[in-house]
Amino acid sequence: MSIGCKVPRVHVLRKLTPVLFAVFLGVLALTIDLGQPPGESTDRVPALPSSTEQPSVTWVHVVILGLVEGVTEYLPVSSTGHLILAQRAMGLVHSDASNAFAICIQAGAIAAVLLLYFHRIRQIFRSVLGRDEQGRRIAINILVAFLPAAVVGLLFNEMIERHLFGVKPVVAAWFAGGLFILLVARWQRRASVSGYDLDQLAWRAALIIGLAQCLALWPGTSRSLATILGGVLVGLSLPAAVEFSFLLGMVTLGAATAYKGLQHGPTMVETYGWLNLLVGFLVATVSAAIAIKWMVAYLTNHGLELFGYYRLLLAAVVGVLVIIGVI
């Protein structure tokens, strides 16, 4: 079934899109203190005046961060939100180096997708040589879906890092995302529509998924959540939406990793060291591969509800810890 040919979910998505962006802007207004001085965040750990006061980064820190990145990158729970929480719990100061490291170890998650979906990636590369029409369509759709987040990310990267890389905005995003997962899961059960395969996705539907991915620029939202639900709402089956999310994530994460690596690479290497970067990459690769295989098997039989409840529980727990001053 083609996206342009009477797919009922597109009409639902068109009605939901204004609501989603209204919620996004509303939570943004609640979580950003517009009166704060530029460059400061109300819930960040303040930058320390001297690098000697920064806790030394050990291999234990790196392994934990690699595990957190790998396990959560492709689950609809937000790897960035979990990394911010893990860094805060370990006393690591938020800095350009820590932010760049959190993004660059995504290379491990990219490697996991390359290994697990090699057959699909080979099909896409064959399309470049004009040998696979289906692969060409998938490649075009990935490019179309990638562009919105790339443009928005470049335009608003500084504002996002200044205001949203904190625990309070992440908690708000966890809560909103959890509610939305449960609403979509409930609607999907009532609609009783299985959806169509990835090779039937049209570029207009891919663009809608790409616009949904823009919401994931808010830490805590989850890129996987935005793209999987976007795919389901435009009519893809859940397995097809998950696979497209993985393939799109490979391109999106690759671009973000390259951008941050070029921007803050020397500072990151000086702070963490090449060995720690390699350890983080390897741990993220292995843990991401395991998480992807588990997620695909689980979603096939159970759906997304578990992740909705997890996000709500996590938002409640962390929100209480923030209120009482533990975090």
Q: How far apart are CA 200 and CA 197, in angstroms?
A: 6
CB-based contacts of 303: which residues, under 8 Å, 6+ apart? Answer: 185, 188, 238
Q: DSSP secondary-structure letter at 94?
A: P
State the pLDDT at residue 191.
67
If DSSP codes are grouped into helix, strand and coil, which group holds residue 325? coil
* 303, amino acid identity: G
Is the pTM here over 0.85, yes or no?
no
If DSSP codes are grouped into helix, strand and coil, which group holds residue 314? helix
CA angle 195, 201, 206 (to 5 degrees): 110
Helices (H), the chain: 8-31, 59-72, 79-89, 96-104, 106-116, 118-128, 133-163, 167-191, 203-214, 223-233, 238-272, 274-302, 305-323
- For 212-258, what is each residue's pLDDT tens digit? 999 998 988 999 999 999 998 898 998 899 999 999 999 998 988 88
Question: What is the residue-level pLDDT of the chain in tens, covering all 327 positions?
Answer: 334 333 444 444 444 444 444 444 444 444 443 333 334 343 443 333 334 445 577 888 899 999 999 999 999 999 888 988 888 888 876 677 777 787 788 899 999 999 999 988 988 888 877 778 888 899 999 999 999 999 998 888 888 877 777 888 999 999 999 999 999 888 777 766 678 889 899 999 999 999 999 999 898 899 999 999 999 889 899 889 999 999 999 999 898 888 888 888 888 888 888 888 899 999 999 999 999 999 989 987 888 899 999 999 999 999 999 898 886
